[in-house]
Amino acid sequence: MIAAEEYALRRSLRQRRVAGYEKIHVYLGNLRLLLAFLAGVVIWASVYRHAFSPWWILAPILAFAALAAYHAHILRAQELARRAVTFYENSLARVEDRWRDIGATGERFLDPHHIYAADLDLFGKGGLFQLLSAARTGMGEETLAHWLLSPSPVAQIQERQACAAELRDQLDFREDLAVLGEEARVGVHPESLRQWVDAASRLGPLWVRWLALGFALLAAFGLLVWSLWGSIALLVVALIAEAILKYRLRAGLAESQHGAEHALRDLDLLSTVLARIEAQKFHAPRLLALQRELASSQVAASRAISRLRTIVELIAAQHNPVFQLLDVPLMYSVQLAFAAEHWRHRHGQALLSWLRAVGEIEALLSLAAYSFEHPADPFPEFTAGEASFAAEDLGHPLLPFASCTRNSVQIGGEIRVLLVSGSNMSGKSTLLRAIGLNTVLAMTGAPVRAARLRLTPLQIGASIRVNDSLQEGSSRFYAEITRLRQIFDLSANTLPLLFLLDELLQGTNSKDRRMGAEGVLRALVQRGAIGLVSTHDLALTEVGAPLDRHLKNVHFQDAIEDGRMKFDYRLRDGLVTKSNGLELMRAIGLDV
Which is more confidently placed, 562 or 400? 400
pLDDT value at residue 441 = 98
Q: Which residue has the higher pLDDT, 202 or 136?
A: 136
Average pLDDT over residues 9-25: 93
- Percentage of the chain exceeding pLDDT 70: 80
**Secondary structure element (H or E) that encloses residue 196, with its range:** helix 190-198
pTM of the predicted structure, to 2 decimals: 0.84
- The predicted structure's pLDDT at residue 314: 76
Q: Which helix (H) or strand (E) holds 391?
A: strand 389-394
Q: Would you say 567 and 453 are in contact if contact means Cβ atoms under 8 Å apart?
A: no
Quick one: which H or E segment has residue 369? Answer: helix 332-373
Residues 6 or more apart whose CB falls under 8 angstroms from that of 403 comprise: none
Within 13 Å, how many C-alpha atoms sit on residue 573's CB side? Answer: 4
pLDDT at 367: 97
147 within 8 A of 446, measured Cβ to Cβ? no
Whether residue 133 has pLDDT greater than 90: yes
Residue (of 396, 451, 475) closest to 429 by Cα position: 396
pLDDT value of residue 206:
65
DSSP 393: E
Say what the pLDDT of residue 158 is: 96
pLDDT band at 240 (very low <50, low <70, confident <90, very high): confident
Residue with the larger pLDDT of the pair 171 and 313: 171
Average pLDDT over residues 424-452: 94
By the 8 A CB rule, do 363 and 147 touch? yes
Q: Please check whether residue 150 is in contact with residue 495, taking contact to mean a CB–CB distance below 8 angstroms.
A: no
Rounded Cα gap, residues 367 and 361, in angstroms: 10
Determine the pLDDT at residue 470. Answer: 41
**pLDDT tens-digit map of 47-101:** 666 666 666 667 777 887 888 888 888 988 999 999 999 999 999 999 999 999 8
- Measured CA to CA, the distance from residue 506 to residue 508 in angstroms comes to 6
Would you say 530 and 496 are in contact if contact means Cβ atoms under 8 Å apart?
yes
Query: Is 496 in contact with 458 (CB distance < 8 Å)?
Result: yes
Contact 133, 366 (CB under 8 A): yes
Average pLDDT over residues 123-128: 94
Separation in Å, CA 135 to CA 184, 362, 363, 368, 565: 10, 5, 6, 12, 42
Cα separation, 391 vs 402, whole angstroms: 19
Q: What is the pLDDT of residue 124?
A: 93
Phi, psi of 458 (to 5 degrees): -135, 150
Q: Which residues contact 12 (CB under 8 A, 6 or more apart)?
A: none
The CATH architecture of the domain made up of 381-587 is 3-Layer(aba) Sandwich (3.40)
Angle, helices 233-248/321-330, rounded to nearest 10 degrees: 100
CA atoms within 13 A on the CB side of 283: 6
Rounded to 5°, angle at Cα 280 from 275 and 282 = 140
Whether residue 16 is predicted with pLDDT greater than 60 in this model: the reply is: yes
Position 177, amino acid: L
Q: What is the pLDDT of residue 300?
A: 75
Distance from C-alpha of 143 to C-alpha of 362, rounded to nearest angstrom: 8
Average confidence score pLDDT of the chain: 83
CB count, 10 Å around CB of 107? Answer: 12
Residues 6+ apart with CB under 8 A from 476: 466, 467, 468, 507
Judge whether residue 151 has pLDDT over 90.
yes
Q: What angle do CA 12, 18, 20 make, to 5 degrees?
A: 105
**Residue 473: what pLDDT?**
43
Sorted by where each begins, the domain ranges of the chain are: 1-96, 184-204+249-373, 381-587
CA distances from 315 to 48, 117, 223, 312, 338 (A): 44, 47, 25, 5, 11
Question: Which amino acid, residue 243?
Answer: A
Distance, CA of 521 to CA of 542 (rounded, Å):
12
> Is residue 158 left, alpha or beta, with left meaning phi > 0 and alpha meaning psi from -120 to 50?
alpha
Neighbours of 326 (CB within 10 A): 14
From CA 56, how far away is CA 38, in angstroms rounded? Answer: 11
Q: Which residue has the higher pLDDT, 216 or 66?
A: 66
Q: Is pLDDT of 486 > 80?
A: yes
For the ranges 139-153, 192-206, 429-443, the lowest mean pLDDT is seen at 192-206
Instruction: Report how far residue 447's alpha carbon sits from residue 441's, in angstroms, rounded to the nearest whole number.
Output: 7
DSSP secondary structure of 209-261? HHHHHHHHHHHHHHHHHHHHH---HHHHHHHHHHHHHHHHTHHHHHHHHHHHH
Q: Which residues contact 50 (CB under 8 A, 6 or more apart)?
A: none
State how far the Cα of 410 lies from the Cα of 532, in Å rounded to an integer. Answer: 11
pLDDT at 259 over 60: yes
Residues 270-304: tens digit of each pLDDT: 888 888 898 899 999 999 999 988 876 566 787 88
pLDDT at 120: 95
pLDDT higher than 70, residue 249: no
Cα dihedral 66, 72, 73, 79 in deg (nearest 10) = 170
Q: What is the mean pLDDT of residues 570-590?
A: 72
First to last CA, the chain: 50
In the predicted structure, residue 586 carries a pLDDT above the cut 90: no
The DSSP secondary structure of 396-433, one letter per residue, reads: -TTS-GGG---EEEEEBTTB-EEEEE--TTSSHHHHHH
Q: Where are the alpha helices (DSSP H) in 96-153?
A: 128-132, 138-149
Q: What is the structure's pLDDT at 475? A: 65
- pLDDT computed for residue 443 by the predictor: 97
Q: What is the DSSP letter of 46?
A: I
The amino acid present at 363, given as its one-letter code, is A
The stretch 406-413 carries a mean pLDDT of: 94
Q: Which residues pair with 412 in a beta bridge?
A: 415
Residues 544 and 535: their CA atoms lie apart, in Å, by: 13
Question: What span, in angstroms and rounded, lies between the C-alpha atoms of 151 and 146?
Answer: 9
Give yes or no for residue 499 having a pLDDT over 90: yes
Of 146-150, 413-417, 436-440, the one with minimum mean pLDDT is 413-417
